[in-house]
Structure 1
Amino acid sequence: MGASKAVDPERNFAPPTYTIKELRDCIPKHCFERDTLRSFSYVAYDLCGVAALAFAAAHIHVLPAALRAPAWILYWVCQGVVATGLWVLAHECGHGSFSPSITVNNVTGWVLHSALLVPYFAWKHTHSQHHKNTNNMNRDEVFVPRTKSFRGLQGKRSTPAWIEDSVFEDAPLYHVAQVVAQSLFGWPLYLYRNASGPKYARGASHFNPSSVLFRPEQFSRIVVSDIGIALVAATLVYASWVFSPLAVLFYYGVPYLMVNFWLVTITYLQHSHVNVPHYNDDEWNFVRGALSTVDRTYGRVLDVCMHHIQDTHVAHHLFSQMPHYHAEEATRHLKMKLGKDYNYDDTNVFVALYNTMRRCQFVEDTGSILFYRNTSTPVSS
């Protein structure tokens, strides 16, 4: 692949020209080795965390009345983080990075993802397409940028140019509402009707075996995914009858929303940044798409609890079968190799969420390499 000229003088950006072999060769070979027993140790660790938090929550009623509400909030936040760690391990199963055994990957992933109301085989397929087409304007599966014309800003003669450039700039409550809605409900909406997904499949459902999202030969696996969801849903209904709907909401429902928040936030911030490009087909290739990912840290505690999915995401996109417990080491080698082509942002996660929602509104309708329109000045972290 030959070098391309810089396409954006303001950013002095030139698309990277590395080959996948070149990047793989800079990483020690042991980083690609998968250890089933070691992977299950992380599952056991997270399950112990879930159980310990649930046990603690069961004793909140013995606290003084004034402390009960803060204690529940603390439980929801902590349980959401720990359960997100389980979600990440299930996600590794979908990539085949959990174990060399396909059967172990699929059984473990199906159980863990179903427990979190994720249709394992359905999402495994669309997520694979995302990895194969990262930051491709025509084929990526999630957070594909809206174009200027889609936003209704193109060709409005009665609209002054300054309004086109600043129409999203000064509405902080609007952006906060966007963050909350996307973070809590974006995930189930994506599964149910492919919200934020590609144009060809808008309105399609991950629960429909005949959906345009899937090939005919995948029908039975999508049914298996639905069976997993149905079993967990039935269990939740039964628990609501035995205990109470409020108990299920407090122990499971609110932490489930917290998991939604983290997984949407991780995906959104990893692939949305004003200085990171999206490509049309003529300039896109796999390596360029993978390198359009942004590594971010959420602080040491969250990074560890979420198995470093957020601060080693570039390595994950380049080599999705690499286990998470080798990704930190691989990232150090990649960072040295990539230099300025390594994307990293240590902005506070909540500040980054607001700034990204505010600034990453649309891209131009035409062009081989497109950047989000920067419509405002970011908040300082």
Structure 2
Amino acid sequence: MVPYFSWKYSHRRHHSNTGSLDRDEVFVPTKKEALPWYTPYGRLLHITVQLTLGWPLYLTTNASGRPYPCFACHYDPYGPIYNDRERVQIFVSDAGVMAVSFGLYKLAATFGFWWVVRVYGVPLLIVNAWLVLITYLQHTHPALPHYDSSEWDWMRGALATMDPAYGILSRVFHNITDAHVAHHLFSTMPHYHAMEATKAIKPILGEYTSPTPRLWPRRPGARSGSASTSSPRTARASSGTITSSSRLRS
């Protein structure tokens, strides 16, 4: 279960520090040499755990999140993720989680544990897997750079995202998948303007957008979609050395 204000504040910091190896709050890439399990079987196990337990592990242990000098947890009001002004609302979020947990306990006492697993637990696992999948693919690709503190700035980070296209599913899910670059550039924009904004910014960004892989191949003669990503040319347009996810993970 997601503590509302806790995630609100950490997600705001993700938007403020997207693409930063030092300050981004989630999907921070790890160097290959730091991954002793980086084998085909190890990657398969990692993907399985990420899709099933990744979201609760991120909330409880900050898995794949920003490296902090001490233990970080979304449920801890005094953890390093939050400042003093935010701590009261973290307590409020925790109270909400405890209230829902008590409600689930009462349902289990009334209808049985396995009834709650079927009606609540299984759908929750599916939602968690979908959430992790789409957000991971929006921030992880060989073409997407990640920057250290000497090169990162907000605009570079916002453009270091992508818009994976899922065909008709993109419309079913209100285009939360294929309008992510615009969401990072204009995070206060209502979601119902996201596709309009995506189409408007593509000509402005020019070479810094490029087509992305689709869930299935486009039909011959079909109109070009809105899927876009920050181009590998981003690295050539800036000075110095860019640290990319492809260099870190492959």
Deviation by residue 1:319-351 (Cα, 9 ceiling, x = unmatched): 0111111101110111122122125423329xx
Residue in 2 that maps onto 1:274 = 142
TM-score (norm 2): 0.84
Residue in 1 that maps onto 2:53 = 185
Residue in 2 that maps onto 1:327 = 194
CA shift, 1:287, in A, is 1.0
Residue in 1 that maps onto 2:131 = 263
Deviation by residue 1:163-212 (Cα, 9 ceiling, x = unmatched): xxxx946x2x4333221110111110010011111111563111111111
Residue 171 of structure 2 aligns to a residue whose secondary structure is: helix
Residues in 2 aligned to 1:202 and 1:335: alpha-carbon distance in whole angstroms: 41
Among candidates 31, 41, 44, match of residue 147 of structure 1? 31
Tell me, yes or no, if structure 1 residue 308 matches structure 2 residue 175: yes
CA shift, 1:149, in A, is 4.8
Residues in 2 aligned to 1:182 and 1:243: alpha-carbon distance in whole angstroms: 30
CA shift, 1:214, in A, is 0.8
Residue 233 of structure 1 aligns to a residue whose secondary structure is: helix
Q: Residues 227 and 376 from structure 1, CA distance in 2 versus in 1: closer, same or farther, beyond 3 angstroms?
A: closer
Q: Residues 373 and 297 from structure 1, CA distance in 2 versus in 1: closer, same or farther, beyond 3 angstroms?
A: closer
Residues in 2 aligned to 1:371 and 1:228: alpha-carbon distance in whole angstroms: 39
Residues in 1 aligned to 2:55 and 2:249: alpha-carbon distance in whole angstroms: 27
- Where does 1:1-381 land on structure 2 (aligned, <5 Å)? 117-151=1-35, 168=38, 171=40, 173-200=41-68, 203-300=71-168, 302-348=169-215, 368-373=241-246
Counterpart contact for 2:143–2:246, Cα < 8 Å: no
Opposite residue 171 of structure 2, the aligned amino acid is V
Counterpart contact for 2:151–2:242, Cα < 8 Å: yes
Residues in 2 aligned to 1:133 and 1:334: alpha-carbon distance in whole angstroms: 21
Deviation by residue 1:20-49 (Cα, 9 ceiling, x = unmatched): xxxxxxxxxxxxxxxxxxxxxxxxxxxxxx
Counterpart contact for 1:127–1:141, Cα < 8 Å: yes
**Which 5+ residue runs of structure 2 have no aligned equivalent?**
217-239
Residue 199 of structure 1 aligns to a residue whose secondary structure is: coil
Q: Residues 334 and 312 from structure 1, CA distance in 2 versus in 1: closer, same or farther, beyond 3 angstroms?
A: same
- 4+ residue runs of structure 1 moved beyond 4 angstroms? 374-377
Deviation by residue 1:275-329 (Cα, 9 ceiling, x = unmatched): 11111122211111011101011221x2233221110000000001111111011
Residues in 1 aligned to 2:27 and 2:188: alpha-carbon distance in whole angstroms: 23
Q: Considering only CA atoms, is the larger Rg found in Structure 1 or Structure 2?
A: 1
Residue in 2 that maps onto 1:103 = none
Residues in 1 aligned to 2:102 and 2:160: alpha-carbon distance in whole angstroms: 41
Opposite residue 183 of structure 1, the aligned amino acid is L
Q: Residues 202 and 261 from structure 1, CA distance in 2 versus in 1: closer, same or farther, beyond 3 angstroms?
A: farther
Opposite residue 322 of structure 1, the aligned amino acid is M
Residue 240 of structure 1 aligns to a residue whose secondary structure is: helix
Counterpart contact for 1:168–1:375, Cα < 8 Å: no
Opposite residue 189 of structure 2, the aligned amino acid is M
Residues in 2 aligned to 1:182 and 1:236: alpha-carbon distance in whole angstroms: 25
Opposite residue 227 of structure 1, the aligned amino acid is A
Q: Residues 206 and 376 from structure 1, CA distance in 2 versus in 1: closer, same or farther, beyond 3 angstroms?
A: closer
Counterpart contact for 2:70–2:80, Cα < 8 Å: no
CA RMSD between the two structures: 2.2
Residues in 2 aligned to 1:311 and 1:132: alpha-carbon distance in whole angstroms: 20
Deviation by residue 1:213-238 (Cα, 9 ceiling, x = unmatched): 11122121000000111111111111
TM-score (norm 1): 0.56
Residues in 1 aligned to 2:196 and 2:8: alpha-carbon distance in whole angstroms: 26
CA shift, 1:251, in A, is 1.1
